[in-house]
Amino acid sequence: MNMNRLINMGMRMLMRKGVSLAATKGKRPEDMTPEERAQSKNAQQTANKAQKGMRAARRFMR
């Protein structure tokens, strides 16, 4: 593999972890109230939709 692919793969892994950490605000689901859990789930779904949109945009721009 070339170095650019490895760097991009690592950055994507960090971005995914950061998005999930931001959505949960660093808390475990069992430590959250039901409202916080629902808000976290909604934030993660929104982030997943944004990631899918970015993938589609990258595919389109090739």
Q: Which pLDDT belongs to residue 42?
A: 92
Q: Is the pLDDT assigned to residue 9 strictly greater than 80?
A: yes
Average predicted confidence (pLDDT) for the chain: 85
- Identify which has the larger pLDDT, 32 or 24: 32
- The whole model's pTM is what? 0.64
Distances in Å between the Cα of 25 and the Cα atoms of 18, 44, 46 are 10, 11, 15
Instruction: Report whether 33 contacts 54 (CB < 8 A).
Output: no
The confidence band for 47, taking pLDDT boundaries of 50, 70 and 90, is: confident
Mean per-residue pLDDT, 22-42: 86
Q: Which pLDDT belongs to residue 18?
A: 80
